[in-house]
Amino acid sequence: METISCFRLSVILSIALFIFARPWYTPSKPGLLGCTKSTPWCTSKNRRTQLGSVLETQVSQPKNLPTDTPLHPLDPLTIPEIKKVRAILSAYAPFSWTFPTIHSLSLDEPDKSRVLEWIKGDPLPPRRASVIALLNGQTHVLTVDLDLGLVISHDNNPGSGYPTLSMDDISVALQVTLSNEEVNKSIMARGVAYSDLSCITPSAGWYGPNEEGKRIIKVQCYSSQGTPNFYMRPIEGLTVTVDIDKREVVKISNTDRGIPVPKATNTDYQYMAQDKPMEMEPLNPISIEQPNGQSFRVEDGHMVKWANWVFHIKPDQRAGMIISRAMVRDSVTGELRSVMYKGFASELFVPYMDIDESWYFKTYMDAGEFGLGVTAMPLVHLNDCPRYSYYMDGLFVAADGKPFVQSNMICIFERYAGDIGWRHSELPVNSFEIRESRPKVTLVARMAASVGNYDYIFDWEFQTDGLISVKVGLSGMLMVKGTPYENVYQVPISKEISGSLVSENVIGVVHDHFITFHIDMDIDGPNNSFVEVNLVKEETLPGESPRKSYLKAKRHVAMMEEDARIKLKLYDPSEFHLVNPSRRSRLGNPAGYKVVPSGTAASLLDLNDPPQIRSAFTNNQIWVTPYNRTEQWAGGLLVYQSKGEDTLAVWSERNRPIENTDIVLWYTLGFHHIPSQEDFPVMPTVSSSFALKPVNFFESNPILRSKPNFKKDLPVCRPASSS
């Protein structure tokens, strides 16, 4: 009998412990996805949870969850409803012998017309669940009617892609990899002890027929010796391709054996690990106090009411956070007016710019491959969100169809950062001594998705003047590449590296981030039009004016989808309005909102590059499509390993009419990231945003009569006496 080495035996025992002792997705551990301190692996995309931080959010019992009875047509499924869906599926003939793996189970929202007609107190429209499941390698997309207790639609393999990865998929990939003898020998040869091993599971993308017909995933490993920040210590060149369904290794790539594992020095980012204070003047604690409490309230679990705004908010396993039925009250008439029916982050595209065997496939589509909600860890009180925040838990579904809680996933709070709502002062030359100013206080709904090494912070910010700002912040860890070079002087002139040296033996690889938002604007009703207002240079005629040129605004109403595919251009400026032609101001202007871009970036990849085909929704910064309840995910319903045949770009090619009808705006926010040393070992947050701003929506300044602050309104907080 062949002798088994001690190392090999330890691997087998560890995997056995992992398989039989792991409590995945247990509802009794809300917010940790079943991870406990004894769980060897807890990974989503490429993350192993590290516990014990000084700022670790304490896991509490579920709170702020909806009741057992939904109160609004758009409320997420409740625990009893999820259990009922599971029971219906268990009795459903195709699944009666073997229950499928659930990859998505959420509310199948009612038709938009029924939601718009509904008034509080009316019976809810029929409650239905949308389910995406896998069984025997086949994808099943089902609709379950909870009132009838029946599956009312069932579609098999509707596209080339597969559903969002589950934690069970990641578990299988790690088990298969760590039980492979060749992999173990390769890790030992790199000088990494098994006890220090941390492995991640990057998605595979799609790169031709060799990877079709099977669900595959990549596995790469790191050393966590001496640091929780294993991302900075890659075992460069070792990549394992695993067939998830067959539970077998398809390919092992083991190159770059001579590249050392980077050192752990200065990689630990935790507060308690810092051995000396920063060389800077200390900051005193700062907090925005609300002596009379919050000005907003959350009713019926999901309806937010603040100042002149009312909207519905809910956590979502894929999108993270969804804002619906956003309405603003007219400051003159008191009318509650519709602004947006539904807004959310539809898809992310994150391509890395390295073509090596261990890097070319790193072109993530984070929402459709991993889910923004399921990767949203509990927010950190006083650091992620201020003192007077309201926290909302998410209720999601595990692979076995049972509910679990994602605790403290969303926070809602008011913000005053010293900004000004409006102001004007008059110099005392015309007998007017006027100084008028109003503070800008806003309401923020926030979530943060930790999709592997990156943290994405999503803010929806509402202003009393009717503006909605959508902001994305990026933080977390770089995805780095090991290199033999310790400084730039060692890099040969003829050698091109795929990024910047950010530490010794560590390259921060150049990459992009694109976040595409689905914005279903309903400005005073669903029938809207998209108007491009071009600023065009006009030249004056001889003798007409001392001026030689001026700008003129020319309006163009988009008739078809192709008219509303917009690439932003600095030297061809335009405004982009969504208007209701049937709702006019007293002056005859159509009520509208405009998209206000901030700093952004465009994808520069070849349009025929496989990852760009899959993410063709980033080919333009703005798209407009007619409303279609099946067209919500810019990368398609089934994204994992998809070929790009079901994307926003494909839908838009139908070139449907979009004038004076129910339309959806799609906006892509982009970042080019060339890493620098300041991004090591954890990145300071970088942000960008876009805004939805009223244009002739109100008759005049809607916050003209807002109240200024007076000293008597605010308490004076003083430092405690030192005596």
Task: Scan for tokens 């100013």, then name that residue.
Answer: 437
**Positive or negative CA dihedral for 94, 99, 100, 104?**
positive
Cα-trace Rg, the chain = 27
**Alpha carbon of 388 to those of 66, 276, 463: distances in Å?**
21, 32, 18
HSE-up (13 A, CA, CB side) for residue 227: 20
13: phi then psi, degrees, rounded to nearest 5: -65, -40
> Which is catalytic among the residues 222, 269, 364, 454?
454
Strands (E) located in 180-287 = 197-200, 216-223, 238-243, 248-254
Helix, strand, coil percent content, the chain, rounded in steps of 5: 15, 35, 50
Segment holding 6, helix H or strand E: helix 6-21
CB count within 10 Å of CB 463 equals 23
HSE-up (13 A, CA, CB side) for residue 154: 12
- Which residues share a beta bridge with 213? none
The answer to whether the beta carbons of residues 141 and 158 sit under 8 Å apart is: yes
The answer to whether the beta carbons of residues 337 and 506 sit under 8 Å apart is: no
Task: Scan for tokens 């050698």, then name that residue.
Answer: 495
* Cβ density class 97-112: b for 16+ within 10 Å, e for less: eebbbbbbbbbbbbeb
Residue 616 is encoded by which pair of tokens? 């063709």
Nearest partner of 140 among 401, 389, 519, 374, judged by Cα: 401
Measured CA to CA, the distance from residue 579 to residue 593 in angstroms comes to 6
Segment holding 21, helix H or strand E: helix 6-21
Task: Scan for tokens 């805004």, then name that residue.
Answer: 691
> Which is catalytic among the residues 196, 256, 268, 366?
366
Residue 485 gets which letter from DSSP?
-
Measured CA to CA, the distance from residue 242 to residue 239 in angstroms comes to 10
Amino acid identity of residue 636, one-letter, is: G
The answer to whether the beta carbons of residues 501 and 507 sit under 8 Å apart is: yes
The answer to whether the beta carbons of residues 624 and 665 sit under 8 Å apart is: yes
500, 501, 506, 512 alpha-carbon torsion, rounded to 10°: -20
Which residues touch 379 (CB under 8 Å, ≥6 apart)?
A: 57, 385, 391, 408, 409, 410, 411, 446, 447, 448
The answer to whether the beta carbons of residues 589 and 697 sit under 8 Å apart is: no
Residue 538 gets which letter from DSSP?
E
The answer to whether the beta carbons of residues 188 and 159 sit under 8 Å apart is: no
Interstrand relation of 150-156 and 138-145 (parallel, antiparallel or unpaired): antiparallel
Whether 606 sits among the annotated catalytic residues: the reply is no
570, 573, 574, 575 alpha-carbon torsion, rounded to 10°: 70
Whether 162 sits among the annotated catalytic residues: the reply is no
Measured CA to CA, the distance from residue 501 to residue 676 in angstroms comes to 7
386, 387, 388, 389 alpha-carbon torsion, rounded to 10°: 50
The answer to whether the beta carbons of residues 363 and 341 sit under 8 Å apart is: no
What positions carry a catalytic annotation?
366, 454
